[in-house]
Amino acid sequence: MISRRQIWGLIALTLMWGINWPMMKYSLRELSPLYFRALTMSFGALWLFSFYRIKGVRMWPQGAEWRSVITLGLPNVLGWHTLAILGVKELASGRAAILGFTMPIWTVLLGVLVFREKLTRRIVFAMLAVALTIALLTFNELTAITGKPRGIVWMELAALSWAAGTLMMRRAHLTLPMETLTVWMLILASVCLWLFAAVLEPWPSWQFSGPMWGSLVYGALINYGFAQIIWFGMARHLPPATSAMSIMAIPLVGTLSATLIVSEMPGWQDLVAVLCVMAAIAAVLLPSRKPATSL
């Protein structure tokens, strides 16, 4: 039975991660994508490290544990966060959120293709829903005067990177706390992002508006900080169906909040795409009342 405290925590988490999508889009008005990601991830990782260190969590990997940090960090953090911010740069933030949250479907599909997991009717339904989502948004981007369909490619590569990382995480034999693993994946990824940004982007002026500084604080303290703390506090105890409902709601929150934060008005394609992604996520994450039927 989920408690009232968990319900409020889940609502807060869904809002934090949903609103983060248009907040990222807002930040990219004044800062290039790689520097934005490097800056917010660095401070978020340091904030998490300090918090869990004070809480008494073992924060230093030992020996072979560093290998897990690197191999799992490449797809789960560096790949996902780098490719996703490039996608947000090209797309409306709501569409980026919708496409990014096709990742649970890619996870189960990769499991079928790579690890010979069962192909069920639910998975087929999810695949069709995601295909319709991508078709709707691709058609809209191709027909729009300012459309940038390459943003769709960035977001789907980001979703695939996350999916691959999720499968690797499931099969990893970890001996260090998940909090420690996440913090060090963020730290190492942020170092890589600073290097990428220095090579690929001009040095920022660091003269930002007040709202921009607020957006950066949101990215570091809320997205990489408080949201992660809430998630770690609840993830081990939440029923699978409850976690799935939260994941389903994030792209909807991202799409709707974009109207207020960056004045992006969703079209009918966006709204239908949100429903398709929510249905696909429900198909692969919500537990079935009877054994899944394989094809």
Lowest mean pLDDT among 152-156, 160-164, 229-233: 229-233
Q: Could you state, in order of their start, the residue ranges of all structural domains in the chain?
A: 14-285
Asked whether the beta carbons of 184 and 69 are under 8 A apart, the reply is: yes
Q: Which two tokens stand for residue 130?
A: 């995601």
Q: Is the pLDDT of residue 243 over 80?
A: no
Res 30 pLDDT > 90: yes
pLDDT at 132 over 70: yes
* Residue at token pair 């800056």: 39
pTM metric for this prediction: 0.90
pLDDT value at 245 more than 80? no
Of 1-10, 44-53, 55-64, 68-77, which range is least confident?
1-10
**Cα–Cα distance for residue pair 184/46, rounded to 1 Å:** 10
Distance in angstroms (rounded) separating the CA atoms of residues 250 and 84? 15
Looking at residue 77, the DSSP 8-state letter turns out to be I
Write the CA distances from 90 to 64, 100, 150, 161, 259, integer angstroms.
39, 13, 7, 18, 17
Indicate the Cα dihedral angle 219, 69, 176, 65, nearest 10°. Answer: -160
Region class of 2: left (phi > 0), else alpha (psi between -120 and 50), else beta: beta
Give percent of the chain with pLDDT exceeding 90. 62
Token duo for residue 39? 């800056």
Q: Tally Cβ neighbours within 10 Å of residue 105.
A: 25
The pLDDT, as a whole number, for residue 26 is: 96
Q: Distance between CA atoms of 197 and 86, rounded to whole angstroms?
A: 12
DSSP 220: I
Largest CA distance in the chain: 58
* The pLDDT of residue 154: 95
Neighbouring CB atoms inside 10 A of 119's CB total 17
Q: 68-77, 83-92, 274-283: lowest mean pLDDT where?
A: 274-283
- Cβ contacts of 69 within 8 Å, gap of 6 or more: 61, 181, 184, 185, 188
| Per-residue pLDDT at 157 exceeds 90 | yes
Supply the pLDDT for residue 4.
82
At residue 141, the pLDDT reads 65
What pLDDT does residue 84 have? 97
Predicted pLDDT at 145? 45
The per-residue pLDDT for 162 is 93
pLDDT value at position 9? Answer: 87
Euclidean distance between CA atoms 133 and 175, whole angstroms: 39
Residue 258 has pLDDT above 80, yes or no: yes
- The per-residue pLDDT of the chain, averaged, comes to 89
137 contacts 98 by C-beta, under 8 angstroms: yes
What is the arithmetic mean of pLDDT over 148-162?
90
Helices in the chain by DSSP H: which ranges?
A: 4-27, 33-54, 65-73, 80-90, 93-100, 103-115, 121-143, 150-171, 178-200, 210-217, 227-234, 240-261, 268-285
> 78: helix, coil or strand?
helix
- Ranking 78-82, 193-197, 268-272 by mean pLDDT, the lowest is 268-272
pLDDT at 292 over 60: no
Query: Could you say which DSSP state residue 120 is in?
Result: B
Q: What is the pLDDT of residues 225-236, one digit of tens each?
A: 999 898 887 766
